[in-house]
Amino acid sequence: MATDLVILPPPPPEAVHRNLAARSGEVETRVLEAFAATLRVKMPGGLALAAVGGFGRRELFPYSDVDLLLLTASDSAMPPKGAISAFLQMLWDGGFRPSHSVHSLDDCVKEHSDNVEFTISLMDRRFLAGDQALYGSLDERLKSFLAKRGAAIAQQIAALAVGRRAKFQGTIYHLEPNIKDTPGGLRDLHTARWLQAIEPRESAPALNAALDFLAGIRIRLHELAGRDQNVLSFDSQDALSDQPASLMREYYRHARVVDRAVREGIEAATEKPGTLIGRFHEWRSRLSTNEFTVSRDRVLLRSHQPPAGLGLFEFVGRHQLRLAPDTLERLTGFKPQTTWADWKRLLGLPKPAAGLRAMQETGALAAALPEWRNIECLVVRDFYHRYTVDEHTLVAIASLESVTDGRFAELFAEIEDPALIRFALLMHDIGKGSGRDHCQVALEVARDVMTRLGAPDADRSVVEFLVERHLEMSSVMTSRDLHDGSTALALAERIGTIERLKLLTMITYADISAVNPQAMTPWRLEQLWRVYLLAHQELTKELETARIHSPEGVSPERARFLEGLPMRYLRIHSSAEIEGHLALARQLESRPVAVEIEHQRGIYKLTLLSHDRPALFASVAGAISSFGLNILKVEAFTNAAGIVVDTFTFADPHRTLELNPTEVERLRGVVRRVLEGKQEAEKLLRGRPKPLLPSKARLKPRVAVKNDVSEHATLIEIVAEDRPGLLYDLARAISTAGCNIEVVLIDTEAHKALDVFYVTQQGQKLAEAAQEGLRESLLAACSATH
């Protein structure tokens, strides 16, 4: 028969004080009795008994160890071992857990680099019994010792705290925290007080309320377990409150105060002027601007009000700084008014996590995105996740800043706009705790947020896809047969494009990595990479094999235009873009080539339609390169009527088109004349010598030629160091080999060219000899220098 759970809430502050004092008093009485019956009899002088550690602070919990110091005048005047054993035996028999040490007076006032804990314990000392004059000498000499060597001791205490905190990933937001040792717990609270005692700071926050709360929790944990048990487990949370979520939110609120205090203390102890880190932080003060002052690696505001938008947090993220205590105070109640452009700038930084952490710490993240409050300090119980939902999200974003596996690091470098992944991660679990499918709720929230911020349709589409499908690849990894060909086909259909596959792979990598430090096992890493390769292969094959046939719901004119184009065309182009292409196609009734050039967000896009002809692609690539423009991305398709739809995206590094608007029209004219056979691309390029590649190229070129991917064409995949004119050289090598380019997908990221061609020779796949010859020609083109 089930019984109702009896709730045992934490005691109020006054009860906490009474409990600790009563326990300490009870133990003290028994310790004094044992000392009088054993050690005092054998050594009436030259021996003092002191309480240290928690016992010295009169903070004994129900099942805490009883820390004791037996102090002697010298190493040669030690108490008899038999008397010590009898003393300890009486305490054990009384149900206590004594933890003792025997030290001479001289030993207590010197550094113990291999036992810093002993010096720390002496900071909470108090006299119990024995030679009071001897203890008085310890008191005086220890004060003098700490006055002289306090800085060194503080550094040792700080180093000990840093090492302990690292075992818990330096975060307070654990679902089942250890009240004593987790960051923000009692050990941190005492560390902050020890550092404050050695080197007082005016700005140190008050910790009394946090001590009352944490001590109350620890008392109850001991009582529930009947032993020294300090983990606030899910079962313990239920036992302490009928609203465990509220209990945990209160815990995190107090833990934040402690965490801030100990971090400030650690920084003060370890970043002294003249030390290596101190000199580095002094040098970093040069980063100061007319809005911010940088002092000891912390940011101070020059004015009373922070700048509008996310400028402060972008500055923190860009330079990996921290906010000064004064800045934290000034940001109380700060509500940044943000736009999509503000978020793109912050999240587009190489390492934006520091800026987001600063926003979280100050409350600015929830102020800028009120929806964030839905997951702030939210505990969602399972035995897999270790952190609260908001912490998991920030850890996921940070994980992309230190991708250690070379394959995934390379993949992430290929992503054109990493800010979109990071914003999707910011939203991906924001639907948790709603009682509904969290992916669907997160999608709805993300749509509302992006509407409010004014995100453009293209960015919204990507983020919405990632938020809605962020569990897709994880599901395939764990619940699908990767040897079944239908698995890759189904996944490719749901993802749609290679670009989205890369984005989804990296959001999956981040999501798994942030579950807990051991979640991304080597096996999971290999499984994720395998799923990526399967989907990539399927999407690459689909470029040529999946074609549009008899499209429904469109006009006859549009249906004729779409017939035979790859399915990818529909996935990457909006209805408005397709209508624009159709308008260009109408121009072909009166001219052989239709060309349009647009300037979009710092890059240019050239779209051309023409009837297919030999070397068409190479000619256009050469014409664009002859202007000193860098081709970044290309989509080249042909429909059933033989109309080529090519889109070249390129950068203008020398601002030739921007500073000379007439050059845009000249470029349009050159492309037309090249395609009409009135100019030769090769001659245009002769006047622009290619830059020399580094003596040791950063990337060794790779060319793969595959005949088993498509029924009708040969697939060529090229990865090479990008350079001006590379695409022209590759396309010319293909044309020179007598091959026709059927489909092209070109991408360039981080100086790496990622090129996919589907080619035929006389309407057929390439024979084996032709494959090898073309491969050698393409490798030569990748390495060509002029």
Please list the ranges in the chain whose pLDDT falls under 70. Answer: 1-5, 272-285, 687-698, 750, 785-786
Residue 283 pLDDT: 55
Residue 23 pLDDT: 95
Q: What is the pairing mode between strands 298-301 and 322-323?
A: parallel
Residue 114 pLDDT: 81
Which residue bears the tokens 């609260």?
388
Residue 723 pLDDT: 83
Question: Which of 272, 281, 356, 278 minimizes the C-alpha distance to 312?
Answer: 356
Residue 279 pLDDT: 54
Q: Who's near 93: CB < 8 A, 6+ residues apart?
A: none
Q: d(Cα 597, Cα 647) in Å, to the nearest integer?
A: 10
Tokens read off for 364: 């600015």
Handedness of CA 672, 675, 680, 686 (dihedral sign): positive
Three-state DSSP state, 689:
coil
* Residues pairing with 294 in the sheet: 299
Question: Which of 146, 143, 127 minimizes the C-alpha distance to 135?
Answer: 127
Tokens read off for 297: 């690696």
DSSP per-residue codes, 211-274:
HHHHHHHHHHHHHHHTSS--B--HHHHHHH-S-HHHHHHHHHHHHHHHHHHHHHHHHHHH--TT
pLDDT in tens, 262-297: 999 998 888 765 555 555 555 556 778 888 988 878
* Residues pairing with 651 in the sheet: 630
Q: d(Cα 521, Cα 470) in Å, to the nearest integer?
A: 19
Integer distance in angstroms from the first to the last C-alpha of the chain? 87
Query: pTM for the whole thing?
Result: 0.78
Question: Which of 74, 86, 97, 72 minimizes the C-alpha distance to 39?
Answer: 86
Q: Would you call 523 exposed, middle or buried from its count of C-beta atoms within 10 A (0-12, 13-18, 19+)?
A: exposed
